[in-house]
Amino acid sequence: MRRRSFITVLAAAATTPFALAGCSSADATASSGSSSGVTIGSANFSESQLVAEIYALKLEEAGVKVTRKFNIGSRETYIPALKDGSIDIIPDYQGALLTYLAPSVGHIKASALTATLLSELPKTVTMLKASPAQDVNVLAVRKDTAKKYSLTTISSLAPHAAELSEGSGPEWKTRYEGVVGLKSVYGITFKSFVPLDSAGPLTLAALKNGRIDVAPLNSTDPALKSLTVLEDDKGLFLPQNIAPLVRTSADNPKIDTALNTVSAKLTTNDLIDMNDKVSNDHQGIAAVAKAWLKSSGL
């Protein structure tokens, strides 16, 4: 899913599920699914908003009218929004998307990911080309916790899990790449689970101040430098290459060309650099996205 010290989780500002996003003042007036424009959504963390803003800017450059509905929420909220036409386009992470769409698929090889995901997509949704950029789920602990229990891998957590607490967004409890998979693949059941946010500032703060001992974070989070990341030695967490999801009825060659061009250029190092600018340099998401497009020759 996903998820960060550099993330600024924006407050929900409306009463309907898909008006949760703090829409940019640059929003166009096009309605979702109309022939004259598209509505682009994002999840409720800044990396998703960054990629969504890059999509929006590139489409606007291509002459497509864009409405932004960012900060919608977790996958449990934005996939239904994509299916019912509340949004037309959203960036997503392949591995986490598969485990959301088909939790019974369980543990599969990374080489089978794309083909399996394509077979599980709703008929009303198309996935365009994935980028080399990915943001993989990782489990992190404080360095003192790692030293106390000699933790280097997720497997090494198993003998000590009953003494440790974990925290994340509530959806982590029901996801295969979450509590479910940690138990079935690693045999891990923690002492307690504290509902916080999805790899966001609440989770990071709780980990650092000792309220929780283990947290799922994201591989592009600059905060990982001060923590110990546990090796996923049994391969629970699938590759998380970012790909645009497009509502089939809104798709057209102009959209495909623009977004596939973005995907071809976007790298993991780009994500790390942009996340650092947002979190540590306090630059605006729109400015960072625009600067990346310019520096990438797009």
pLDDT digits (tens, 9 = 90+) for 89-133: 999 999 889 988 988 776 677 778 889 999 999 999 999 999 999
Tell me the CA distances in angstroms from 88 to 31, 151, 210, 255, 257, one per residue in order: 10, 43, 41, 11, 16
Order of strands across the sheet that contains 228-230: 192-195, 165-168, 214-218, 137-141, 228-230
pLDDT band per the 50, 70, 90 thresholds, residue 9: very low
Distance CA 83, CA 106 (A): 24
Pairing of strands 242-247, 89-93: antiparallel
The CATH code for residues 137-230 is 3.40.190.120
Residue 23, pLDDT score: 40
115 or 4: whose pLDDT is higher? Answer: 115
Distance CA 198, CA 172 (A): 8
Q: Distance from CA of residue 220 to its chain's centroid?
A: 11
The CATH code for residues 17-134+240-295 is 3.40.190.10
**Per-residue model confidence as pLDDT tens digits over 255-289:** 999 999 999 999 998 998 998 899 888 999 999 99
pLDDT band per the 50, 70, 90 thresholds, residue 13: very low
Candidates 85, 214, 198; CA nearest to 146 is: 214
Mean residue pLDDT across the chain = 86
* Cβ atoms of 218 and 4 closer than 8 Å: yes
Residue 106, pLDDT score: 65
Residues, the chain, total? 298
**Positive/negative CA dihedral, 84, 87, 90, 93:** negative
Global pTM reads: 0.72
85 or 24: whose pLDDT is higher? Answer: 85
Locate the domains of the chain by residue range: 17-134+240-295, 137-230
Residue 281 burial (CB < 10 Å; 0-12/13-18/19+)? Answer: exposed
Same fold: 17-134+240-295 with 137-230: yes
Residue 30, pLDDT score: 38
Give ∠ CA 251-256-262 in degrees, rounded to 5.
Answer: 135
What tokens appear for 106 in the block?
């369980």
Residue 99, pLDDT score: 84
Q: Does position 3 have pLDDT exceeding 60, yes or no?
A: no
DSSP 151-163: --BSGGGGGGGGG
237 or 193: whose pLDDT is higher? Answer: 193
